[in-house]
Structure formats: structure tokens, C-alpha cells
């Protein structure tokens, strides 16, 4: 495969966009529809990444790489889902402040575990030995193929999220997010619904984390900073929390701008890229979040339009 036309930076830039869009879409279900303010996105992302990486690299697998890879991937997803179940059980009945602190605390715990459990994770030095489950020639071709595969996964997540708005389940999520006591009085099991949504959403974030780890090939705690949560949150809020397209549009705008345009196409001094740009990025994320919430709290796309949507659905 001749990939000379493709810049290696563009692959990694697009990959960042796709990963953040994927996280943003799952966050849309939790925050946008059901109003669970999950500020621990990176915790589930990280626990999936490390569970996958540790199992894949530390076990002496008796069978081929592909099977070891897939089993480890399933394991990472499962562990993230189970931790989502646990965290969800703890926070599902709390108010917004409680949810914020609980999820943020969880993400911090994951970060600290990744740093201190050196026997398993390699601590701050990191964990090497991850690789793609295939070899199509060059590193660039491998990475490009991985970008395509992860894009397909995220596209499937998007299709599901987009379609959920058109199902009774989506209506239930919006109802619980909008007025939980009222939903309960109509016989809706709000706690159970939120718990499962949170657990499955967390599993999805874990899966994306594991897929991200494969692209990195090297896991280090610095991948688990608050900036991942912030990026997903900013992308979703900028695009529109209430809309399925919100995370996609916000993700391409904000991550696309930083990880593709700034990274590859702006004539900036080389020494900026190490320290300055990541810092500026976080500052802009934080500032943007404030500005959007102040002036256009529903994001670029605005509120969901159930009136129009339902008319179309029922034709």
C-alpha cells in the first residue's frame, strides 16, 4: 500500500479526533440525555487501556497473537464496565455535585494506581510491548489501518447513539434526565436505568481506551490526565450536549484544530510543541468551556428538537 500522500502526523491527528469523538458520543448518552455529569471519563478510558495492556503483555499466551489480543480487549472492556457498575452504584442516587466529585475521584484513583502499581503497569516508566494484531508492512500502513478500524468502531457507536433518539429507550433516558422523580412516579426504574447506562457507557470508554493504547504501543500514566476528560467534555459541549451530532462536530472542530491544524500546518516555532502547545490547549479548553456555557450553553447545534424528530419518526 502506497501511503506517501498521507502525513504521519495527519494519521495521529485524525486518530485523536476519532477517539475524542467516541468518548464524546458515550458522554452524550450519559450527560446529554440522562444528565449524569461524568467527569471521570479518563478513569474508565484508562482502566480499559491498562487492563487490556497488562493482560496482553504479562500473560504467556498459549495461542496466536490475534486471539490473545481479542481476549485482552474484551477483558479491558469488561473491567471498565465492572468499575462503571461499581462507581455508578455509588453515584446514581447522588446530586450533581456528588456525581462530579465521585467520578473525578475515581479518575484520580485510576491515575494513581497506574503510577504506583509498578509490578503490573511499569509505573511512571510505562508499559511497553503492545502491538497491532496484524502486520501489513510499514508502521505507517499499520497505523493507517488501525485508524480505519477504530473509525469504524466509533462510527458504529455514533449510529447507535443517533438511533437511540428514535427509540422508547431514548425517550426514557431523556425523561429520567429531565425529571427523575416524575419518571419514577410513572413507574420507570430510574436507578437501574442510570446504573446500566453508566456501566455500559464506561465499558465503551474502556474499549476506546484499549484501542487508543494499541496505537500508542506504550502505556504511561501521562495518558491518563484530566485533559482526556476535558477534551471529550469540551467537544460535546461545544457541538451540543443534547444532540447526537454534537460530539462529532465539536470533536472535529476543537481536536481537529489542535491536533491537526496547529500540529502540522501552522508555522509555529518547533520548541513550542513540547511544552507550550499542550498547556495552551488545556487553557483554551477550559476557557472555551466557560465561554460556550456562558453564551451558548446548548452548543453550536442547540437543543434537541423532539417536535421535529418525532414527527419524522412517526411519519
Closest-CA residue to 167 (of 244, 93, 241): 244
Range 146-165, binding another protein (CB under 8 A): 160, 163-164
| Residues with Cβ within 8 Å of residue 65, at least 6 apart in sequence | 131, 133
Interface pattern 223-262 for another protein (x via CB under 8 A): -------------------x--------------------
CA-CA distance, 311 to 315, in Å (whole number)? 6
Residue 140 or 166: the one with the smaller Cβ distance to another protein is 166
Site size for another protein (CB under 8 A) = 39
Residue 61 or 191: the one with the smaller Cβ distance to another protein is 191
CA-CA distance, 205 to 187, in Å (whole number)? 30
Helix 139-164 with 168-178: angle, nearest 10 deg = 80
Closest-CA residue to 26 (of 148, 116, 156, 131): 156
φ, ψ (nearest 5 deg) of residue 127: -125, 115
Of residues 116, 118, 167, 264, which one binds another protein by CB under 8 A?
167
Determine the interface stretch with another protein among 135-143, 175-183, 265-273, 281-289 (rule: CB under 8 A): 175-183
The answer to whether residue 311 forms part of the interface with another protein (CB under 8 A) is yes
CA-CA distance, 115 to 122, in Å (whole number)? 8
Of residues 59, 148, 186, 266, which one binds another protein by CB under 8 A?
186
CA-CA distance, 239 to 300, in Å (whole number)? 5
Of residues 131, 140, 171, 217, which one binds another protein by CB under 8 A?
171
Within a 10 A sphere around the Cβ of 308, how many other Cβ atoms? 9
Residue 276 or 313: the one with the smaller Cβ distance to another protein is 313
CA-CA distance, 179 to 175, in Å (whole number)? 6
The answer to whether residue 182 forms part of the interface with another protein (CB under 8 A) is yes
The answer to whether residue 169 forms part of the interface with another protein (CB under 8 A) is yes
Residue 58 or 192: the one with the smaller Cβ distance to another protein is 192
Residue 114 or 205: the one with the smaller Cβ distance to another protein is 205
The answer to whether residue 310 forms part of the interface with another protein (CB under 8 A) is yes
Residue 224 or 244: the one with the smaller Cβ distance to another protein is 244
Tell me the three cell numbers of residue 43. Answer: 478513569
Residue 2 or 185: the one with the smaller Cβ distance to another protein is 185
Residue 267 or 315: the one with the smaller Cβ distance to another protein is 315
The answer to whether residue 168 forms part of the interface with another protein (CB under 8 A) is yes
Residue 127 DSSP code: B
CA-CA distance, 258 to 251, in Å (whole number)? 10
CB of 196 to another protein, least distance (A): 7
Closest-CA residue to 232 (of 208, 268, 210): 208
CB of 116 to another protein, least distance (A): 36
Alpha helices in 92-222, H assignment, sequence order: 96-116, 118-121, 139-164, 168-178, 180-185, 190-216
Of residues 178, 286, 297, 302, which one binds another protein by CB under 8 A?
178
Binding positions for another protein, rule: CB under 8 A: 160, 163-164, 166-169, 171-172, 174-175, 177-179, 181-191, 193, 196-197, 200, 242, 303-304, 306-308, 310-311, 313-314
Amino acid at each position: 500500500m502506497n501511503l506517501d500522500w498521507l502525513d504521519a502526523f495527519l494519521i495521529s491527528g485524525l486518530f485523536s479526533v476519532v477517539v475524542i469523538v467516541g468518548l464524546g458520543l458515550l458522554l452524550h448518552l450519559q450527560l446529554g440525555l440522562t444528565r449524569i455529569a461524568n467527569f471521570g471519563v479518563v478513569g474508565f478510558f484508562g482502566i480499559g487501556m491498562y487492563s487490556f495492556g497488562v493482560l496482553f503483555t504479562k500473560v504467556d499466551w498459549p495461542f496466536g497473537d490475534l486471539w490473545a489480543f481479542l481476549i485482552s480487549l474484551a477483558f479491558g472492556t469488561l473491567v471498565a464496565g465492572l468499575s462503571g457498575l461499581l462507581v455508578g452504584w455509588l453515584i446514581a442516587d447522588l446530586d450533581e455535585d456528588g456525581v462530579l466529585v465521585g467520578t473525578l475521584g475515581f479518575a484520580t484513583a485510576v491515575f494513581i494506581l497506574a503510577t504506583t502499581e509498578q509490578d503490573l503497569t511499569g509505573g511512571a516508566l510505562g508499559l511497553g510491548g503492545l502491538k497491532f494484531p496484524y502486520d501489513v508492512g510499514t508502521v505507517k500502513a499499520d497505523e493507517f489501518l488501525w485508524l480505519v478500524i477504530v473509525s469504524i468502531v466509533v462510527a458504529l457507536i455514533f449510529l447507535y447513539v443517533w438511533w437511540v433518539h428514535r427509540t422508547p429507550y431514548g425517550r426514557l433516558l431523556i425523561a429520567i434526565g429531565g425529571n427523575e422523580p416524575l419518571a419514577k412516579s410513572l413507574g420507570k426504574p430510574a436507578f437501574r436505568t442510570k446504573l446500566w447506562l453508566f456501566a455500559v457507557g464506561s465499558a465503551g470508554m474502556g474499549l476506546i481506551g484499549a484501542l487508543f493504547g494499541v496505537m500508542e504501543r506504550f502505556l504511561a500514566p501521562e495518558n491518563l490526565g484530566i485533559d482526556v476528560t476535558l477534551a471529550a467534555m469540551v467537544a460535546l459541549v461545544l457541538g451540543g450536549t443534547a444532540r447526537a451530532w454534537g460530539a462529532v462536530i465539536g470533536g472535529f472542530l476543537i481536536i481537529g484544530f489542535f491536533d491537526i491544524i496547529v500540529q502540522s500546518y501552522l508555522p509555529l516555532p518547533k520548541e513550542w510543541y513540547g511544552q507550550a502547545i499542550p498547556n495552551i490547549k488545556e487553557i483554551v479548553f477550559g476557557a472555551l468551556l466557560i465561554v460556550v456555557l456562558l453564551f451558548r450553553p446548548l452548543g453550536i447545534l442547540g437543543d434537541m428538537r423532539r417536535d421535529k424528530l418525532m414527527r419524522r419518526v412517526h411519519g
